[in-house]
Amino acid sequence: MSAQPASADQPDTAAPQPAAAPNTTPFIEFRGVSKTYPARRRAGTVHALQGIDLQIAPGEVFGVVGESGSGKSTLLRLVNRLETPTQGSVLVDGTDLATLSAAATRARRRRIGMVFQQFNLLANQTVYANAAMPLRLAKRGSEVSGRRRETAPQALSAPSRRDAERARVMELLDFVRMSSHADKHPSQLSGGERQRVAIARALVTKPDVLLCDEPTSALDGHHTEEVMGILSRVRTELGTTILLVSHELDVIKGICDRAAVLEGGRLTALVDVAPPDAREAFDSYAERAQRFLGPHTPAAEAPAAPEGEG
Ligand SMILES: Nc1ncnc2c1ncn2[C@@H]1O[C@H](COP(=O)(O)OP(=O)(O)OP(=O)(O)O)[C@@H](O)[C@H]1O
């Protein structure tokens, strides 16, 4: 797999293929979004994304595929404002993220969960404490801003807050079938179990959006299916909108409604993957896509790509 930059120095002026609008009001919307970064090891800029127009419906499971360096993670990180667009706007639930104050941005971020390829659990904390972390951080944040405003009263007493936390965390650990492991540490878990804890952590604040960056790429086939099953239930049982970056076409085909293909930072195809008859179309796309996606190798076992390959 090559790690080509999305597009170095020369913005591609070709019009991106317009994304078909969903029938409902979009929940996440990219309007003419471009993102450039200063190049890391040389002068100039990298055009990570160019002219992205995309609408994602509420409750949709939306896939993003493309070769390494095509801009997938950048697209995801724009949604929780870990990145800001160089041009254009990103809207979530009808609000342009650029218009939010710092406090409103933090509140919006609390409603966006994120799941990573390498789980990002705290090794010295239990499963329970890892899953509870976003609630504890949110509480600490509200205490700090409460102190700043000199408003002492809390809605719940400390024991009630602890009970509420425990109920919520155990509900989520039940949801991912990890409640019997609540007192274990991450080192005592398999990769699939760690990712299930990471999903519980991402959902504990009741987000309306779940961003998943290669959530199954470090897992073997069995654990991949387990995680796919949980993500499907997140959509059907919780109604969460999911944006899923994956190199694995089987994962995209297994759980997504639609998928965007990024090439060199541009959206070059938008594919319906949900209806069975559309899967054939996706398969013919997949043949071309496989050229750059390559056969799946779990990241942990993947050999290093030779320089300049692809
Ligand atoms: N902070 C940054 N500074 C400079 N360049 C960056 C930065 N972040 C990303 N890039 C560059 O932007 C382009 C798109 O990166 P991005 O991580 O979004 O791609 P990707 O498709 O997610 O890649 P991968 O599949 O390898 O994770 C790449 O050329 C990358 O090197």
State whether ipTM is beyond 0.85.
yes
The per-residue pLDDT for range 4-33, each reduced to its tens digit, is 444 444 444 444 444 445 567 899 999 999
Distance 68 CA to ligand 1 centre (A): 8
- CATH code assigned at 136: 3.40.50.300
Same domain, 142 and 198: yes
pLDDT digits (tens, 9 = 90+) for 134-191: 999 887 766 656 555 554 455 567 778 788 999 999 999 999 999 999 999 999 999 9
Pocket lining: 48 vs ligand 1, CB cutoff 6 Å:
yes
| pLDDT for res 184 | 98
Q: If you search the block for the tokens 């404002």, which residue do you land on? A: 81
Position 73 scores a pLDDT of 95
pTM higher than 0.80, yes or no? yes
Closest residue by Cα to atom 25, ligand 1, is 68
Q: Residue 281: its pLDDT value, please? A: 54
What pLDDT sits at residue 253?
Answer: 86
Distance, in Å, from the CA atom of 70 to the CA atom of 250, rounded to the nearest integer, reads 20
Q: Residues 126, 167: one domain?
A: yes
Q: Which atom of ligand 1 is nearest to the CA of 76?
A: 18
Cβ atoms of 89 and 33 closer than 8 Å: yes
Residue 229 within a domain: no
User: In the chain, which residue ranges form alpha helices assigned H by DSSP?
Assistant: 72-79, 102-110, 127-148, 158-175, 191-203, 221-233, 249-255, 276-293
pLDDT for position 191: 94
Query: Which segments of the chain have a pLDDT < 50?
Result: 1-20, 151-152, 292-310
| Distance from C-alpha of 22 to C-alpha of 307, rounded to nearest angstrom | 40
Q: What are the CA-CA distances from residue 140 to residues 127, 135, 145, 203 (Å)?
A: 20, 9, 9, 18
DSSP 27-84: SEEEEEEEEEEE-SSSSSEEEEEEEEEEEE-TT-EEEEEESTTSSHHHHHHHHTTSS-
48 closest CA partner among 21, 87, 90: 87
> 248 and 196 in one domain?
no
Cβ–ligand 1 contact at 78 (below 6 Å): no
Q: Is 130 in the pocket of ligand 1 (CB under 6 A)?
A: no
Tell which atom from ligand 1 comes closest to the C-alpha of 49.
14
Atom of ligand 1 nearest to the CA of 66: 21
Number of structural domains (the chain) is 2
Report d(CA 179, CA 233) in Å as an integer. 17
User: Ligand 1 centroid to 214 CA: how many Å?
Assistant: 14
Contacts of 13 (CB under 8 A, 6+ apart): none
| Predicted pLDDT at 304 | 31
For residue 87, give its domain range.
Answer: 19-111+209-215+239-288
Same domain, 136 and 74: no
**The predicted structure's pLDDT at residue 25:** 85
Q: How far is the CA of 74 from the centre of ligand 1 (A)?
A: 7
- Residue 303 is predicted with a pLDDT of 32
Looking at the domain assignment, is residue 293 inside a domain? no
Q: Is 277 within a domain?
A: yes
Phi, psi torsion values for 8, nearest 5 degrees? -90, 125
